[in-house]
Structure 1
Amino acid sequence: MKPDILCIGSVLWDIIGRASSHMRSGSDVPGRITRLPGGVAMNIAMTLINFGLTPAVLSAIGRDAQGDELVHEAAGLGIITDYLYRSDDLPTDAYMAIEGANGLIAAIADAHSLEQAGTKILRALSDGTLGSDTVPWSGLVALDGNLTRDLLADIAKSPLFTASDLRVAPASPGKAERLLALVGHPSATLYVNLEEAGLLCQTTFSTATDGAAALSQRGVHRVLVTDGGNLAAECLAGDICTAQPPEVLVTRVTGAGDTFMAAHIASEVQGMTRQAALVRALNAAATYVSGETPS
């Protein structure tokens, strides 16, 4: 089966501790701890499945028990796992986060195997399986902005991506500047929050509209900027559209940006206008943070 979209980046186990009370450094409170398939590429793929698309994941997963279980879970959801790089030497990655009623308290991402695998995760795009230097993949690509600086730079100039519609997922603020490698790429769409937009422009913005306009002026082909429950903006070739997210009770935050991006991509694949796609993506993200499953 040919995938509708390639999701390139982290596929790992999310271990999330959630408490209903406000937390601070050193808090010790009751709550729930869950382990679920996660990582930027996996989160996007799972949301795309909910919207009726067939994604494939390109990532690094160990040949350990955790990796076997993760691949089984992904395949059971309908995600194509045939193109994963399975390593005998590297363990399956994991992400651990603590969330309180006041949002994300702390998180640790152990993505060392993905980082060490490097360009090996792209081999299906170069060996003729999905594409090659001379006949590159011509479809959608959802790219994890948390990939290493070197790998993002390689992708930005690689002939393997010259024909693709490249959608770049939110990076963590600490890694946002890695996305600078994709500024000027002719088909790259960046999905960032207001803080990340400011880091990319080495300043701060008070609104998503300002951030989107500034990134467009810097040479970003297309950009979507979110700002929590405040107005979000999308800018394409200098033309800006905006939308207001619905008000919801926030019960989780990890994965909200990935859900927003996946919903936006699916909406455009299904023929929605720019404005309608932005609104639907914001609604999907709001549904997700409220604890429901967007569709």
Structure 2
Amino acid sequence: MTTAQPIPCIGSVLWDIIGRYPRAMRSGDDRPGTINRLPGGVAMNVAQTLVRFGRLPTVLTCIGTDAEGAELIAACAALGVDTSCALRRDDLPTDRYMAIEAANGLVAAIADAASLEAAGAAILAPLSDGRLGSETAPFTGPVVLDGNLSEGLLAEIAESPLLAQADLRIVPASPGKATRLAPLLALPNATFYLNLEEAALLAGVDFIAAPDAANFLVAGGSARVLVTDGDSVAADAAHSGTISAQPPVVEQRRVTGAGDTFMAAHIAAEAQGHSREFALEAALQAAATYVAGEDT
């Protein structure tokens, strides 16, 4: 049964255009493969995984009123993701993401989230107009926040009373956007989901392993940090202590969305009252299942 409380997922909801080749690729290669278009973006990837775990996500994002936007709204509905709080703009096109994946991982990717950035703070209106919360009654449950938002808006969110009582779950979206999250690092109600590269960029330090990175950021003032490192050990650090776990070994068939799956599974496990240890193991298993292509 789906729980009644919505989980706002703030950030990118767009079309993923993913090209895949089953063997290793190098820069400049031209290979036969498959190209698929599917609903994506960090907020959307997390939202649709939350649906699979019986939660009720609603996306706070910007989606155009163009044909691609109408198709995306319909695709979200088919996946059980609520878009009633999404901002629709007829002057902005629906965002897109394009990636090339191969057996050796992500070869290259370009994220066009210009419309989301242009929409700015308008996407947060449901948190202040009574649909999800207001200044006098701010939202208090889990909230997913991704780093595709502009630096200015992320800094504004760090100071906003609208999310000061929420259980903030924050993810960078990509290493190139990790440093945008710096204003949020010291928030006492924030949990960060990072890979080892993103953690290093945020900390300004190179790390050998995930536990080192998570512990460093918590020692620097963050309340809680989870760090993954591919098929190497992952860590969950907080002021109460650090735990770690080894991901399952699987054959990699896809990459885009794996971190988002990890995050959603972890949020769902904790929402069900499971321990930190169980939640970390469950999230790693969900991500491994996704990477192996076993949930399609």
**C-alpha deviations, 1:57-87, integer Å up to 9, x for none?**
0100000110011011111222111100000
Q: How far off its partner does 1:3 sit?
A: 4.3
* 8 Å Cα contact 2:172-2:181 kept in structure 1: no
Cross-structure match for 1:286: 288
The amino acid of 1:120's aligned partner reads: A
Q: How does 1:108-187 map to 2 (within 5 A)?
A: 108-187=110-189
Whichever residue aligns with residue 101 of structure 2, its letter is E
Is the counterpart of residue 4 in structure 1 residue 11 in structure 2?
A: no
Cα distance per residue 1:27-46 (max 9 Å; x no partner): 01110000000000000001
Amino acid of the structure 2 residue aligned with 1:199: L
Which of 178, 189, 192 pairs up with 2:191? 189
1:18 is aligned to: 20
1:104 aligns with 2:101: no
Matches of 2:95 and 2:294, distance apart in 1: 26
Q: Deviations over 1:79-116 (max 9, x none)?
A: 11110000010000000000111110110111000000
Partner of 1:58: 60
- Aligned-partner residue type, residue 96 of structure 1: M
Q: TM-score, normalised by structure 2?
A: 0.97
Aligned-residue identity in percent: 60
Q: Residues of 1 paired with 2:255 and 2:106: CA distance?
A: 7
How far apart, in 2, do the equivalents of 1:63 and 1:86 lie?
6
CA contact (8 A) 1:170 1:258 kept: no
Which residue of 261, 270, 279 corresponds with 1:277? 279
Structure 2 runs not aligned, ≥5 long = none
Which letter maps to 1:148?
S
Q: Unaligned regions of 5+ residues in structure 1, if any?
A: none
Measure how far apart 1:4 and its partner are: 2.8
1:2 positional shift? 5.3
* 1:173-227 per-position Cα deviation (integer Å, ceiling 9, x unaligned): 1111111111111100000011111111111000111001000011111110000
Match of 2:44 in 1: 42
**Could you list the per-position Cα deviations for residues 244-265 of structure 1 after superposition, in whole angstroms to 9, with x for gaps in the alignment?**
0000000111000000000000
Equivalent in the alignment of 1:70? 72
Would the aligned equivalents of 1:217 and 1:238 in 2 still touch at CA under 8 Å? no
* Of 66, 87, 90, the match for 1:88: 90
What one-letter code is carried by the residue in structure 1 that aligns with 2:76? Answer: A
Question: Contact 2:117–2:148 at 8 Å: present in 1 too?
Answer: no
What is the number of residues matched between the two proteins?
Answer: 294
Bigger shift: residues 71-80 or 54-63? 71-80
Matching residue within 231, 251, 254 for 2:233: 231
**Does the 8 A contact of 1:168 with 1:190 survive in 2?**
yes
Tell me if structure 1 keeps the 8 A contact 2:113–2:148: no
In the alignment, the residues of structure 2 paired with residue 99 and residue 119 of structure 1 have an alpha-carbon distance, to the nearest angstrom, of 33
Contact persistence 1:170–1:193 (CA under 8 A): no
- 263, 266, 288: which one aligns with 1:264: 266
For 1:198, the aligned partner's letter is A
Q: Secondary structure at the match of 1:264?
A: helix
Shift of the alpha carbon at 1:146?
2.4
| In 2, Cα distance between equivalents of 1:15 and 1:154 | 31
RMSD over aligned Cα atoms: 1.2
Does the residue aligned with 1:275 lie in a helix, a strand or coil? helix
| Other structure's SS at 1:33 match | strand
Q: Which sits farther off after the overlay, 144-153 or 49-58?
A: 144-153
Residue in structure 1 matched with residue 35 of structure 2 by the alignment? 33
**Structure 1 length normalisation: TM-score?**
0.97
For the residue of structure 2 that corresponds to 1:114, the secondary structure is: helix
Q: Could you tell me which residue of structure 1 aligns to residue 214 of structure 2?
A: 212
Task: Give the conservation status (yes or no) of the 8 Å contact 1:264–1:278.
Answer: yes
In the alignment, which residue of structure 2 is the partner of 1:221? 223
